[in-house]
Amino acid sequence: MNLFTDGFTEAIHLLLEGDDSVYSAIYATISVSSLALLISLIIGLPLGFILGYYSFRGKIILRTMVDTLLALPTVVIGLILYTILSKNGVFGDFNLLFTLKAIVIGQVVLSLPIIIALTAAQVESVDKRLYTSLKGLGAKPIQILNATLIEARFGIMTAAITAYGRIITEIGISMMVGGNIKYHTRTVTTAIALETGKGEFVTGLALGLVLFCLALMVNIALSVLKRKWSQ
């Protein structure tokens, strides 16, 4: 119990003291994860709609592939990206390795299947009479997409929360393609791994509590937004 209370006290101390390394890690975590989620939503919502709304050859195979990617380990994604982004890789000339951009790319790969799969499931659960009415009114595909996303907005918000929770707590991608560089690519999760590896369990626990608070604030904000939308 002393370890937990010491970690809690240390977390408050680090935040109130304005520790540069802690706030740098927090900023990197929030900025990278938020950008990755935004990109995933922009790409994943239309793809999820197509997968859930249309019937086409190979849909079952494609759906199975997307569902399989939900369980893809972050270290595997990190390893593949490291190979591609390294100097001898396909995109080595872009010098993306050990940058925040590389972490964003990895987190998009991680969260995109979540957005696509859950959006497709929500689209399939929408009352079919909505589609019949929209088609009868001569709605265009983009209008059907917008109406469907509005109808399934709570499920899509759940997908966004799930994806954000997955990427904000991942460590394999951030460590392998980010390099855990202090004041540059170090995130809260990689900082936890570093401090724990050094035997600084109290600091590691403190950073873990910081990460928990970040996730809690995101969920509270989305819950408030969901309540407003339901009124």
pLDDT in tens, 69-84: 998 899 999 999 999 9
The answer on pLDDT for 1 being more than 60 is no
The answer on pLDDT for 224 being more than 70 is yes
pLDDT at 114: 95
pLDDT at 210: 83
The pair of structure tokens assigned to 148 is 């469907």
Residue 65, burial from CB neighbour count under 10 angstroms (0-12, 13-18, 19+): exposed
The answer on pLDDT for 17 being more than 90 is no
- Helix, strand and coil content of the chain, in percent to the nearest 5, comes to 80, 0, 20
Q: Write down the mean pLDDT value for the chain.
A: 87
pLDDT at 113: 95
Confidence band, pLDDT 50/70/90 cuts, at residue 100 = very high
The residue behind tokens 């569902």 is 67
Predicted confidence (pLDDT) per residue in 172-209, tens digit: 999 999 999 999 999 999 999 998 888 888 788 888 88
Predicted confidence (pLDDT) per residue in 41-53, tens digit: 999 999 998 998 8
* H or E segment to which residue 148 belongs: helix 141-151
Q: Which domains does the chain have, with CATH numbers?
A: 24-198 (1.10.3720.10)
DSSP 77-102: HHHHHHHHHSTTSTTGGG--TTSHHH
pLDDT at 162: 87
pLDDT at 229: 65
